[in-house]
Amino acid sequence: MTTETAPAKEVDTQELERVTIRFAGDSGDGMQLTGTQFTRTAAVFGNDVSTLPDFPAEIRAPAGSLPGVSGFQLSFSSAEIYTPGDDPDVLVAMNPAALRTNVGDLPAGGALIVNQDAFNPNNLKKAGYQSNPLSDGSLKQYNVFEIPISTLNARALEGLDMTSKQVDLTKNFFALGVMFWLYERSMEPTLRWIDMRFSAKAVVAEGNVRALKAGYAFGETTEMFHTTYRVAPAKLAPGTYRNITGNEATALGFVTASRLAGRELVYGSYPITPASDILHQLATYKNFGVKTFQAEDEIAAIGSAIGASYGGQMGMTASSGPGIALKSEALNLAVMVELPLVVVDVQRAGPSTGMPTKTEQADLLMAMFGRNSDSPVPIVAPATPAECFDYAIEAWRLALKYMTPVIYMSDAFLASGSEPWRIPQVSDLPDISVTNHADSATFQPYARNPETLARPWAPPGTPGLEHRIGGLEKADVTGNVSYDPDNHHRMQVLRHEKVAGIARDIPQLQAHGPERGDLLILGWGSTYGAIRSATERLQAEGWSVAHAHLRHLNPLPANTEEIMRSYRRVLVPEVNLGQLSLLLRARFLIDVVGFNKVRGKPFRIIEIKQAAEELLGKDHRND
């Protein structure tokens, strides 16, 4: 199929502010790649983008089965957006199972593009369909485009030295080509990517190029489509941008922190979803002096990190909930010996193994309290994929300045979701370096900086400072082992005060909206986008609503209570059963209202908006 022989057709172009597309198919169908390619293309074009990959934990669940469905939703816009969109405008379903698991999210009138070829009796049965939805009228509220993608794609690749299985694997690029045509996107970025990715396999490269171009040409020539859609570039703040996922930003943030502090990064880690990508990425930064260590288990991972920090470098580890649970004892050692350390928790749905690829923010109380005794650890939590960069640096700033382990909380949604990131100038980034103690005349292992209460860092290799540390209680100042009752009380209080004092060194909580009002929606972590969007919609409708988002969970910003008391009600949406709510109620005796849903998925804007409206409406009725 070539464009030259295609008959010209009348095509209308429609301007849209925002479009949300969901690609869904079998986990072997390459939906994540398809979504990523569309995202990159939209981002490079200048749209604001936000993405939500949604895939099963099984690498290859049985083909065509419901558990094997993999999805990728992306939203792109000519205005600033905060979320990957509640509901898709367009659903691309590569097989019946993908249709069945996703069509419920498609609003009436939404566009549905299906691979007609996949709707055979076998696949229909695997998806649990009694009759073919393409012919039984059950899809009549949608704008359905049935395309025999497999057949058309196979025809386009005829003559190439590829097996039929290899040919079939390229059909996602046919679908991508159709979408590029529909949204007036250039194929160039993807063609360049194919070139790079398959440079060693010319025939596979050619197959993918043909598939992509055939899909594009199909859109152009078929009588099926009469409209293409245009989404203009967004007016983002001036600067150089790149599209970035949370895990990518996290890894870049840690390398950057290492350079800003002038110490080597030593990253000890054990593979776990969804944190492993940070290890993979850092392992490629060896020329930055980054040392990655794939440990034999989670405990060895944090142990090696503590050993590295003891040695004067920047030891850190990352995991997800089950692994963080295993690290608790060692983390407490770091609390006791007061060494800098950063522990990343890319949260996922639990308890136990739970749903490894699905998101949740239910490790907050574990981060706060999941250790024996009173064991204060600062906690930071980025709110967006791009912010993961900033808070990686912030986590290290606190760890180094206060000689303390710091927990950095991301989640599966932040980790794999992406958005445009305005790349900072390195010269604008903070200096987070600290000096080692080197003077033997003044050295006491547990003497404290009067301002920060940090103890001195005296790594081995410093002459005259030979000393011993360990998990046994330390005598104040000397650091000798001590069982003295008063000393223990004093040390417990000192450890507590050191972390609490960080509140003086972090930004105040900002409310987005009126300074006083009816409702504050207070969140943390990856719920930022949904809360911000819901808040702006409510504000546009005239409600007196503000949004505040915590990036520091321990200690809380100094003005947290003041902000909370400036509104009649406080709504706390969390993807857990009320963990921040519990902390806020306990700390401030404020009767916050939780909005809690744990479906392994990020909040939808509409859910938060409705929860807020219900609260506001109740108050209204009570007036």
Partner 1 sequence: MTDDMTPTSSTNGNGHGHGSPGNGSAALSPENAQVIELTRKDFVSDQEVRWCPGCGDYSILAQTQKTMPDFGVPKENIVFVSGIGCSGRLPYYMNAYGFHTIHGRAPTLATGLKVARPELMVWVITGDGDALSIGGNHVIHSMRRNVDIKMVMFNNRIYGLTKGQASPTSELGKKTKSSPAGTVDFPVQPLSLALAAEASFVARSVDTHTEHLQATLNRAGFHKGSAFVEVLQNCNIFNDGAFRDFTEREVRDDRTLVLEHGKPMIYGKDRDMGIRLNGLHPEIVELGNGVTEADLLVHDEEAEDPYLAYMLSRMWWPQFPVPVGVLRNVQRPTHDQLVVGQIDDAITKFGDGNLEKLLVSGETWTVD
Closest approach, Cβ 336 to partner 1, in A, equals: 9
Q: Which of 290, 392, 395, 538 binds partner 1 (CB under 8 A)?
A: 290
- Packing angle, helices 149-156 and 171-182, rounded to 10: 100
Q: Which of 62, 107, 262, 351 binds partner 1 (CB under 8 A)?
A: 262
Q: Per rule CB under 8 A, is residue 481 in the interface with partner 1?
A: yes
Contact flags string 330-369 toward partner 1, x per CB under 8 A: x--x---x--------------------------------
Q: Which of 23, 38, 216, 285 binds partner 1 (CB under 8 A)?
A: 285
Q: Per rule CB under 8 A, is residue 38 in the interface with partner 1?
A: no
For residue 337, give both structure tokens.
């010996």
* Residues 169-208, interacting with partner 1 (CB under 8 A): 189
Q: Per rule CB under 8 A, is residue 517 in the interface with partner 1?
A: no
d(Cα 255, Cα 543) in Å, to the nearest integer? 43
Stretch that binds partner 1, among 29-37, 379-387, 401-409, 453-461 (CB under 8 A): 453-461
Contact flags string 49-88 toward partner 1, x per CB under 8 A: ----------------------------------------
Q: Which of 256, 276, 357, 418 binds partner 1 (CB under 8 A)?
A: 256
Closest approach, Cβ 273 to partner 1, in A, equals: 22
Q: Residue 128 or residue 470: which is nearer to partner 1 going by CB? A: 470
Q: Which of 173, 241, 396, 402 binds partner 1 (CB under 8 A)?
A: 241
Q: Per rule CB under 8 A, is residue 460 in the interface with partner 1?
A: yes
DSSP 526: G
Residue 620 contacts by C-beta under 8 Å, 6 or more apart in sequence?
A: none
Closest approach, Cβ 425 to partner 1, in A, equals: 8
Whether the Cβ atoms of residue 398 and residue 377 lie closer than 8 Å to each other: no
Q: Per rule CB under 8 A, is residue 542 in the interface with partner 1?
A: no
Q: Which of 259, 488, 568, 585 binds partner 1 (CB under 8 A)?
A: 259
Q: Per rule CB under 8 A, is residue 430 in the interface with partner 1?
A: no
Q: Is 521 left (phi over 0), alpha (psi -120 to 50) or beta?
A: beta
Q: Per rule CB under 8 A, is residue 296 in the interface with partner 1?
A: yes
Whether the Cβ atoms of residue 91 and residue 106 lie closer than 8 Å to each other: yes
Q: Per rule CB under 8 A, is residue 373 in the interface with partner 1?
A: no
| 493 SS3 class | helix
Buried/exposed 88-122: b ≥16 CB within 10 Å, e otherwise: bbbbbbbbbbbbbbbbebbeeebbbbbbbbbbeee
Q: Per rule CB under 8 A, is residue 602 in the interface with partner 1?
A: no
d(Cα 181, Cα 41) in Å, to the nearest integer? 12
Q: Per rule CB under 8 A, is residue 533 in the interface with partner 1?
A: no
d(Cα 594, Cα 118) in Å, to the nearest integer? 44
Q: β-strand 48-54 against 69-77: which pairing, if any?
A: antiparallel
Q: Per rule CB under 8 A, is residue 469 in the interface with partner 1?
A: yes
Q: Residue 188 or residue 591: which is nearer to partner 1 going by CB? A: 188
Whether the Cβ atoms of residue 354 and residue 390 lie closer than 8 Å to each other: no
Q: Which of 170, 269, 313, 452 binds partner 1 (CB under 8 A)?
A: 313
For residue 573, give both structure tokens.
């949406």
Whether the Cβ atoms of residue 157 and residue 167 lie closer than 8 Å to each other: yes
Whether the Cβ atoms of residue 592 and residue 571 lie closer than 8 Å to each other: yes
Q: Per rule CB under 8 A, is residue 291 in the interface with partner 1?
A: yes
Q: Which of 14, 199, 227, 427 binds partner 1 (CB under 8 A)?
A: 427
Q: What residues form DSSP beta bridges with 70?
A: 25
| 508 SS3 class | coil
Q: Which of 15, 468, 515, 622 binds partner 1 (CB under 8 A)?
A: 468
For residue 522, give both structure tokens.
């207070």
Stretch that binds partner 1, among 126-134, 165-173, 454-462, 514-522 (CB under 8 A): 454-462
Give the distance, in angstroms, between the CA of residue 153 and the centroid of all CA atoms in the same chain. Answer: 34
